[in-house]
Structure 1
Amino acid sequence: METIKWVQGIIAFVKVSETGSFSQAAAELHVSKSHISKTIKQLEKDLGIALISRSTRRIQLTNLGEEFLGSCRQSLETLESAKKQVISSSDRPRGVLRVTLAGVFGENFIAPTLISLARKYPDLQVELDFESRIVDIIEKKFDVAIRIGHLKNSSLLAQKIATRREYVCASPKYLETHRAPASPEDLTDHNCLSGGQGSWSFKKSSKPLSVSVKGNFKTNNPRVLVKAALDGLGIVRLPGSYVWDDIKEGKLVSLLERYSEGTKDIWVVTPTRNKLNTNVNVFVEELKKSLERDYRGSQF
């Protein structure tokens, strides 16, 4: 079996084993399901053993397949490590840089830096994944993640790059017919527009305070929540990235500022294996410069 086809067979076999599906493996490898099937059949033919027991409902590795999977993973990890070593030894970004991020902060302040890097370094392949939920960056093979707030203890490397502040606000139109809340507890009498959260957190007398909120409009899209608030539907709680300009222009009114939790830290997080990765290091340095120039953390 030719070396290239041999490696392709191993990659296909590992991907099918990890996903438990020929279709899913094909989708993640950007090939057809029939291609995956043929590749693995050829691999089995060359090895002279059955690696996968197929059925209409699910796939299952044979005993020899399980043993072979361990060796394949180790081999692919060695190849990946060799690739990263070469990239890390280069003084110019090249190869793939995968970043997971979310929200308007990512759109307005992270993405432009990556676009600039892609333009400056044609050999760099940037992959952005906007995912609202926190993913395991090691399992999903991301090089960098942008995280907000308290970080759990882990083996990941974290660098603080900015801060974020959340605002409780409503439009003058809403406040014309509803008395502005004087304290967080007053929110129980208001139509609170949220992304599904059942409570909002504050600080009162330097102590944490959680207030249950309810309303007749929920969405996980912050931009839509802003539109609803501007239309006078109710009160929202959102990061400054979404509402600061409207507050500054008087379209929204900031409420309960004395009870604010204050700012939350924004972090760039990387696996420890990327400590010397040129792609990651250049990106982080360029990002810091960009944020220092363009980002107003005190308001956002």
Structure 2
Amino acid sequence: METIKSLQGIVEFVSVGEAGSFSEAARQLGVSKSHISKMIRQLEEDLGATLLLRSTRKVQLTNLGEKYFQSCRQSLSNLRIAKSEITDLSQTPAGTLRISAAGVFGEEYIAPVLIKIAKDYPKLKIELDFSSRLVDLIEEKFDVAIRIGELKDSSLVAQRIASRLEYVVCSKGYLQQKGSLQDLSDLTQHNCLGERLLWTFKKRGKLIQVPVTGNFKSNNPRVILKAALSGLGVARLPGAYVFEEIKKGRLVSVLDQYSEGKKDIWVLTPARKQNLNVRMFVQELKSYLAEGYNDVLF
């Protein structure tokens, strides 16, 4: 019984730790602020330790509280996952699945999977958002986000689903007109398209940044692709944009020997969102990429 008693207040404590506020935790749990205060006070009494420092403006975890918070949050996450694994055995995907993606990867590789899922599971409502900004999954109630490159937010669960390469490309006509592009130093003689002023390469095992200039800037990769196809200049774009154009001979890939290498593509989810809908989507996405697009992405 003592063990059961010591468990009381943990959900409230973790909610306050995540929200940084008694009021917000109470709102999320659908209880009163006084209930939250009472449960955490009892928890602190049971433990014989102060977990939170309270002031009129904010709530802050003590050193012991921070350690206890991390352990409790992970334990609650494991309990939620265990519960979903049991309940999902007799369920099919339903409810809402909100996904954040961007660019051609979202259009060409995420959207087809979601369209198939929508056909297979008509009770599942899918929302695919193409905002270019980095959304806050928890605050904006997204189930999944697709992100590329190095990750910084350790509070999210990350699964690597693919990798991508960036290519330096131009049209054959442009290359014939403007001359050779075999070394990084040659870039100074060429019209480099896009908004980035520094292009990253790898030379003798080290990453280096090369300043570039050009007379056409845009933060839209499709527009930069059109400019390169027209013969305006040299572009640096992910393989998803240029692979088919290179394959068909409309663009030429140059400086491949200086490629900076692959960048990982991740599925990110809040810890509490590892439910049937998310797991099914990730499984379908991995299968789709492995079957037809590994030559583009991996």
State the TM-score, normalizing by the size of structure 2. 0.71
| 1:272-292 CA-partner distances (Å, limit 9, x unpaired) | 1122x0100011111111111
Q: What's the Cα RMSD here?
A: 2.5
Are 1:74 and 2:73 counterparts?
A: no
- Alignment partner, residue 218 of structure 2: 219
Residue 207 of structure 1: how far off its partner (Å): 0.4
- Alignment partner, residue 260 of structure 2: 261
- Alignment partner, residue 248 of structure 2: 249
| 1:153-202 CA-partner distances (Å, limit 9, x unpaired) | 512111111110110011011112212322223212211001x1111100
Counting matched residue pairs gives 228
- Alignment partner, residue 9 of structure 1: none
Contact persistence 1:170–1:236 (CA under 8 A)? yes
Residue 299 of structure 1: how far off its partner (Å): 5.8
State the TM-score, normalizing by the size of structure 1. 0.70
- Alignment partner, residue 284 of structure 1: 282
Contact persistence 2:243–2:296 (CA under 8 A)? no
Q: Distance in 2 between matches of 1:299 and 1:291?
A: 8
Residue 257 of structure 1: how far off its partner (Å): 0.4
Aligned residue for 1:193, secondary structure, equals coil
Provide closer, same or farther for how the CA distance between residues 188 and 293 of structure 1 changes in structure 2, counting only shifts above 3 A.
same
Residue 150 of structure 1: how far off its partner (Å): 1.3
Residue 259 of structure 1: how far off its partner (Å): 0.2
Contact persistence 2:201–2:207 (CA under 8 A)? yes
Residue 115 of structure 1: how far off its partner (Å): 0.8
Aligned residues: percent identity?
A: 53
Q: Distance in 2 between matches of 1:288 and 1:193?
A: 33
Are 1:126 and 2:81 counterparts?
A: no
Report matched runs for 1:32-181 at 5 Å: 71-75=26-30, 89-90=87-88, 91-181=91-181
Contact persistence 1:88–1:278 (CA under 8 A)? no
Aligned residue for 2:30, secondary structure, equals helix
Contact persistence 1:97–1:280 (CA under 8 A)? yes
| 1:1-39 CA-partner distances (Å, limit 9, x unpaired) | xxxxxxxxxxxxxxxxxxxxxxxxxxxxxxxxxxxxxxx
Q: Distance in 2 between matches of 1:237 and 1:110?
A: 22
Aligned residue for 2:128, secondary structure, equals strand
Q: Distance in 2 between matches of 1:70 and 1:158?
A: 25
Runs of 4+ aligned residues of structure 1 deviating over 2 Å after TM superposition are 66-74, 84-91, 296-300
| 1:115-165 CA-partner distances (Å, limit 9, x unpaired) | 111111111000000122222211221100111111125121111111101
- Alignment partner, residue 62 of structure 1: none
Structure 1, unmatched stretches of 5+, are 1-65
Structure 2, unmatched stretches of 5+, are 1-20, 32-76
Residue 246 of structure 1: how far off its partner (Å): 1.0
Provide closer, same or farther for how the CA distance between residues 204 and 121 of structure 1 changes in structure 2, counting only shifts above 3 A.
same
